Structure 1
Amino acid sequence: MRLNQVTVTMPDLDAGWEFYRKLGLKPIVDARPHYVRFVCPDGGSSFSLHQGEAGGGGTTVYFECDDLDLTVSRLIEAGILFASSPADKNWLWREAEVFDPAGNRIVLYFAGANRLDPPWRVPASAAK
């Protein structure tokens, strides 16, 4: 099984369109005002926005960046306001936090090998 896409609800798709394009996602479907879909620049996964009043604020989406600090600097220059600067976390990821126009929490991060293989990973024999 492989994750294809994540969809979040957003009242204002025009604001979402601008925000996620600034993050570097590439549009592949523009059916505003009801739906938009982007492809992530790396990895082939996609991300979409569905127009609606409900939702927002309860979703967290993680986007992995090979050079987190450079990416955050570029986004700040583009006008994105971050809630937290890149910081090393005790779970061995480096993260920066931002909120989209609907209040969804977006975490840009770099985890390297710790993404899928942290030192505390459950042994394969116990995962069966």
Structure 2
Amino acid sequence: MNLNQVTVPSLNVEQSVSFYKKLGLKLIVEALPRYARFECLEGDATFSVHLVDSLLSGEGVIVYFETERLDEEVKRLIEAGISFDELPTDQSYLWREARLRDPDGNRIILFYGGVNRKNPPWRIN
């Protein structure tokens, strides 16, 4: 199996489109007001947003986007007006992460895991 795409809910897809374009995703389907789909600039996965009547409560899904230029990307996004819950921080599991939320409160983590993304020292062989 290969991961094709992840879809998150939104109360305002147009507002989400603006946010995810600032994040750096490439808009490839724009079916406003109900749906939008993006390509990631690296790899083959896509990401979409769909209109819902109400958002789920609780923690929900966490979406991770990886970039080798994490600190530079965070700086660029702050300059573009994006707020972060947590600036880039080295984690005990050997990833560096920055945490934020999209306009609907969906949790987004920008990170760099390098070789440890799929091959941490504790990987099961």
Provide the aligned length of Structure 1 versus Structure 2: 123
Offset at residue 54 of structure 1 (A): 3.2
Cα distance between partner residues in 2 of 1:3 and 1:113: 19
In structure 1, the partner of 2:108 is: 106
AA matched with 2:47: F
AA matched with 1:122: I
| SS across alignment from 2:88 | strand
Write out the 4+ residue segments of structure 1 that deviate beyond 4 Å after TM superposition.
none
**2:78 matches 1:76:** yes
Task: Find the structure with the greater CA-based Rg.
Answer: 1
**2:117 matches 1:115:** yes
In structure 1, the partner of 2:98 is: 96
Offset at residue 26 of structure 1 (A): 0.4
| SS across alignment from 2:33 | coil
1:1-128 alignment, distance < 5 Å: 1-55=1-55, 58-123=60-125
Once the two structures are overlaid, the 10-residue window that deviates more, 91-100 or 48-57, is 48-57
Cα distance between partner residues in 2 of 1:75 and 1:65: 13
Offset at residue 58 of structure 1 (A): 1.4
**Could you list the runs of 5+ residues in structure 1 that have no partner in the other structure?**
124-128
TM-score (norm 2): 0.95
AA matched with 1:118: P
Offset at residue 69 of structure 1 (A): 0.2
The alignment-based identity, stated in percent, is 51
Contact 1:9 1:53 in 2 (8 A): no
| SS across alignment from 1:58 | coil
Aligned alpha-carbon RMSD (Å)? 1.0
